[in-house]
Chain A
Amino acid sequence: MSLRKIANVVGLLQAFVALSMVLAGGVALLYGDGDAGPIFLSALITAVVGLGFYRLTRFEGEITSREGFAIVTMAWTATAVFGALPYFLSGTIDAPVAALFEAMSGFTTTGATVFSDIEALPHGILFWRSLTHWLGGMGIIVLVIAVLPYLGVGGMQLFRAEVPGPTPERLRPRITQTAKLLWLVYVGLTAAETVLYVLGGMSLFDAVNHAFATMATGGFSTKNASMAAFESPYIHWVTIVFMYLAGVNFSLHFRAATGRFLYGKDQEWRFFTGAVVFTAVLIAMVNLASGAYSPSLSGLEPAVRHALFQSVSIATTTGFVSADYELWVPAAQMTLLALFFLGGMAGSTGGGIKAVRVLLLLKQTANELRRHLHPRAIFLARVGKKPVKEEVMANVIGFVVLYLLLCLSGAVVLSYMGLDLLTALTASLATVGNVGPGFGMVGATENYGWMGSMELGVLSFLMLVGRLEIYTVLLLFHPELWKRRRSYH
């Protein structure tokens, strides 16, 4: 474990963060809201510190997998800290922890905000918020790997630690090529969504920002009422489609782009899509039956649209809101809450437990049930036709247990800080899963601005742990990681 290597890579990454701040500064200059100065200043500080570290800590040799974990965690922490500078220096957020929360929420694509009046924010800051989503969605390290081959084999270690899902899939023999292809698909889909938004009458600025937030499964909006501010069903439908696409494994998109449609062959895809559609149908029926939407022909489209929108939004962990779902009957709300435990597909930009893990866990549970009938039987869980190794299964079970434990611990800690039961629980679930909005005082029309620094600090940590799939971050707290392995030569 070499601190030198960690500092070096983390420093280099900050140069990229600074570069993206310059982009936001450019947007600020364009609109002249007076926030260009603080953003450029942030970029300067970030660049000086980052490049300083990078220049002072040149190293020889490879990055080990242990260092990989440390680098990824440190890089994300540093990125959030520097990413908070524009909010703090521009004075849009006064409390440093709140600024950190907003930046962390952006990069981890959670979409929880401390702003109550978003529309009052200057354009540069708004754009920076969306940009943090977009960079964090596909993974800032994956971006660097795509651009800079210098990390070499070590790149694989970082890639593994950052990309969501149990086992990242390689599209090409070289990790640099794989990273490039993933970003290519990502950029393409973002561009397509922007165009569709503009065609639907959205301003270019809103279109770009919402496309960033959708494709990253983030959830920051430029409007106070989130997607409910746009009354056009067309815009809602476009958002549903792209939220859904962002929640699907990008390797499948890449293959589709090369002419091979393998969606239907992928069992995780069938499970994910089936679960989302099933809950949406349930919610739509409950809402129609309860009279939340008029059970007539004119009420059918909004009922279906909002049910699907909210289901896709929560399942993919985007967190956009098209209607105040807290006004729905408890049955609809509870169904939605259940989706907090699904998450997007592995290899997507979505967070949460991930559909494939849930699927595997269900299969394993079914097998345990069968084991009572055949105590000596060997049962293997499979995804599609591929058998899952017992070690991978153990890893998945460990992950889900840790995930639930983390949600629970988070909720307990928040309740000790004075939050009510529903708020504490759903805030914890919404941040670990990188969803954004929850229920109660963090519900559809609420925000996190009323919380104190303590609460926001805890939630920032939960977002980071959730985004990096728990193991990566928690490993840093394991004493064995830091033990020097003795070498005799």
Chain B
Amino acid sequence: MNVLVVGAGEVGFHLAQRLSEENQDVVLIESDPERADFAAQHLDVITVVGNGASLSILEEAGVKGAAMLLAVTSRDEVNLIACLAAKRLGVQSTIARISNPEYYQRGSVLSREQMGIDLMINPERECARETFQLLRSAAATDVAQFADGRVQLLGLQVKPGAPVAGKTLLQLGEELSHRHYVTVAIVRDGVTTIPTGDSMIREGDQLYMLAPTNEVQDIPPMAGHDRFQLRRVMIAGGSTEGEYLAEVLLENGVEVTLLDRDRRRCVQLAESLPKALVLHADATDLELLEMEGVSGVDGYVSATHNDETNLLSSLLAKTAGARKVVSLIHKFEYLRLVPRVGIDASVSPRMATVNAILRYVRRGRVMTVASLAGIDAEAIEFRVDAASRVAGRSLRDLHFPKGSVVGTILRDDEILIPRGDDRIEAGDEVIVFALPDAIAEIEALFE
């Protein structure tokens, strides 16, 4: 499949990388020659230098034969025009990264359908959604949702003395046969493995478990974490992500304190969020944070535009005693730093965008893909139709490739935690976890 990616910023670069790794033919359009050059050197893609909204550049990039166009520059209007043009030139599906809600909400001059754009992704909103899930499952460092939120994946660290430590998955399965959960990945010393029945869980492991959303709260205690309820959250930084997050939290009845150092922005925030307490303050002003009770908050999110400020602010809050600290990180290089400095979790607006787009790109039979910040494994959601090879066969017969595991089977309203002799049937939705090497094979199996 030929894919055009417009914009080689962090999102575009990462998207191109992931698609190229999955054997798609990627053409990357970028107006900045230096960035284009950088991408050309690091990725197995063609780069075209120029404006992605210009007809001649699109033609040069081979828009006529492309199956898909992903417009992910940081400018909404460029993305919109690129998608509009691509659709006119016969590109089947188009995806635009759009930050301004006025372009996709009701009240927009042209609807998404009229503009011929198949998907609009709002990075800030995706990011806020992800942060909220992280906050809600306090012990988790990673959270992802599947099947419209009916199934959740939790990534969390195994604490010393946790009930699951020192046991193999088989042993656990016998002990907890009444519980619905699947262990889908274990990360130990930076290496991701897809576990089998003999795999043993150790203290300090990063554990990824899948469970129906209503039973997810049972997972943290298994890994030695306390039960926890989200009551009060402080957000440092009135960025759009921070504002959206505050909105979601308030809707869920959480008390929100929001601070920003620009007074005019504070007034705007106070106008749009009547229930939040808005403070005109700096995210690193420890004295003020303490006065406003940072030590007693259940969640602290640093959401300024500046990564360094976010890291520092998160550290201050963690030291002061905030319970769960999440930092917004824009630069991909910093993401790996987060667990090392003692911050509980991080969220990247761009990573959230990449995920949302990849999810759509692999649609068709594939419905959802979640890339998780801390591990190499991916979660892929497939829909099985009657003609599929896997339909009607049991998991044992299917011989799933090494490095992959079936997490859940969704049949109508039922959520099945699969065992070896369970069958896959037409109409099922299957969530598979796989290491990158196994992805191609898995996709072939479900073809």
Query: Could you list which residues of chain A lie within 8 angstroms of chain B, going by C-beta atoms?
Result: 374, 376-380, 382, 385, 387, 390
Nearest CB in chain B to that of A375: its residue: B291
Total A-B residue contacts, Cβ distance less than 8 Å: 31
B415 within 8 A of A: no
> How long is the Cα–Cα vector from A400 to B152 in the complex, in angstroms?
57
When distances are taken between beta carbons in the complex, the residues of chain A under 8 Å from B277 are 374, 377
Q: In the complex, what's the smallest C-beta–C-beta distance from A469 to chain B, in angstroms?
A: 26
Q: Using Cβ atoms and an 8 Å threshold, which residues of chain B touch A378?
A: 263, 266-267, 269-270, 278-280
What is the chain A residue whose CB lies nearest that of B266? A378
Bound-state CA distance A385–B271 (Å) is 9
Flag if B281 contacts A376 (CB, 8 Å): yes
Which residues of the other chain, A, contact B278 by a CB distance below 8 angstroms? 377-378
**B288: interface (CB < 8 Å):** yes
Interface residues of B in 162-216 (CB under 8 A from A): none
User: Contact flags (1/0) for B100-119 with A, using CB distance below 8 Å?
Assistant: 00000000000000000000
Residue from the set A376, A377, A378, A380 with the largest chain B CB neighbour count within 10 Å: A378
Partner of B271, one of A374, A376, A387: A387
For B281-299 the 0/1 string (1 means CB < 8 A from A) is: 1000000100010000000
* Contact partners of B281 in chain A: CB under 8 A: 376
Q: Which residues of A contact B279 (CB under 8 A)?
A: 374, 376-378
B150 to chain A, nearest CB (A): 34
Establish whether residues A380 and B288, one from each chain, have CB atoms under 8 Å apart when the complex forms: no
The answer on a CB contact under 8 Å between A387 and B274 is yes
Closest to A370 in B: B277
A389 → chain B closest CB, angstroms = 9
Q: Which of B269, B270, B280 contacts A376 (CB 8 A)?
A: B280
Q: Beyond A374-B277, A387-B270, A390-B267: 19 further Cβ-contacts under 8 Å?
A: A374-B292, A376-B280, A376-B281, A376-B288, A377-B277, A377-B278, A377-B279, A377-B280, A378-B263, A378-B267, A378-B269, A378-B278, A378-B279, A380-B267, A380-B270, A382-B274, A385-B274, A387-B271, A387-B274
Q: Kindly state the separation between the CA atoms of A379 and B279 in the bound complex, as whole angstroms.
A: 9
Residues of B in contact (CB 8 Å), total: 15
Which residues on B are within 8 Å of A, measured CB to CB? 259, 263, 266-267, 269-271, 274, 277-281, 288, 292
Instruction: Indicate the member of A377, A380, A390 with the most B CB atoms within 10 Å.
Output: A377
Q: Which residues of the partner chain B approach A387 to less than 8 Å between Cβ atoms?
A: 270-271, 274
What A residues does B270 contact at CB under 8 A? 378-380, 387
Cβ distance A472 to chain B, nearest Cβ, rounded Å: 29
* Residues of the B chain whose Cβ atoms lie less than 8 Å from the Cβ of A380: 267, 270-271, 274
* Least Cβ–Cβ distance between B276 and chain A, in angstroms: 10
CA A380 to CA B263, docked complex, whole Å: 13
Chain A nearest CB, measured from B229 CB (Å): 24
CB distance from B267 to the nearest CB of A (A): 6
| Cα(A374)–Cα(B266), bound, Å | 14
A95 CB, min distance to chain B CBs, angstroms: 55
Q: How far is the CA of A376 from the CA of B236 in the complex (A)?
A: 14
| CA A376 to CA B277, docked complex, whole Å | 10
Contacts of B266 in A (CB 8 A): 378
Q: List 29 A-B contacts (CB under 8 A).
A: A374-B279, A374-B292, A376-B259, A376-B279, A376-B280, A376-B281, A376-B288, A377-B277, A377-B278, A377-B279, A378-B263, A378-B266, A378-B267, A378-B269, A378-B270, A378-B278, A378-B279, A378-B280, A379-B270, A380-B267, A380-B270, A380-B271, A380-B274, A382-B274, A385-B274, A387-B270, A387-B271, A387-B274, A390-B267
A145 CB to closest chain B CB, in angstroms?
33
CA distance A374 to B278 in the complex (A): 9
Residues of A within 8 A of B271 (CB): 380, 387
Which of A376, A379, A380, A385 has the most CB atoms of chain B within a 10 A radius of its CB?
Answer: A376
User: In the complex the two chains form, what is the Cα distance from A376 to B290 in whole Å?
Assistant: 13
- Kindly provide the distance from the CB of A392 to the nearest chain B CB, expressed in whole angstroms: 13
Q: How many angstroms between the C-alpha atoms of A283 and B277 in the bound complex?
A: 39
CA distance A187 to B288 in the complex (A): 59
Residue ID in chain A nearest B277 by CB atoms: A377
Q: Which 6 A-B pairs have the closest CB atoms?
A: A387-B271, A378-B266, A378-B278, A378-B270, A380-B270, A376-B279
Distance of A94 from chain B, by nearest CB (Å): 59
Cα A376 to Cα B263 with chains together (Å)? 10
CB distance from B315 to the nearest CB of A (A): 21
- When distances are taken between beta carbons in the complex, the residues of chain A under 8 Å from B280 are 376-378
Separation of A379 and B276 alpha carbons in the complex (Å): 10
Residue of B nearest to A380 (CB): B270
Q: Which residues of A contact B274 (CB under 8 A)?
A: 380, 382, 385, 387
Contacts of A377 in B (CB 8 A): 277-280
Which single residue of chain B is at the shortest CB-CB distance from A385?
Answer: B274
Instruction: Report A-chain residues with C-beta under 8 Å of the C-beta of B267.
Output: 378, 380, 390
Q: Write out the residue numbers on chain A whose beta carbons fall within 8 Å of the beta carbon of B269.
A: 378
Within the complex, the shortest CB–CB distance from B281 to chain A, in Å, comes to: 5
The answer for the CA separation of A379 and B277 in the assembled complex, in Å, is 8
- Smallest beta-carbon distance B277→chain A, Å: 6
Q: Which residue of chain A has the shortest Cβ distance to B272 in the bound complex?
A: A387
Distance of A377 Cα from B263 Cα, bound (Å): 10
- What is the CB-to-nearest-CB distance from A230 to chain B, in angstroms, rounded to a whole number? 48
Nearest chain-A residue to B271 (Cβ)? Answer: A387
Complex Cα distance A385/B292, Å? Answer: 26
In the bound assembly, the distance between CA atoms of A374 and B280 in angstroms comes to: 10
Q: How far is the CA of A183 from the CA of B391 in the complex (A)?
A: 75
A203 to chain B, nearest CB (A): 54
On chain B, the residues within 8 Å of A379 by CB distance are 270
Q: In whole angstroms, what is the CA distance A385 to B274 when docked?
A: 8
CB distance from B263 to the nearest CB of A (A): 7
Instruction: Give A108 to B270 CA distance when docked, in angstroms.
Output: 39
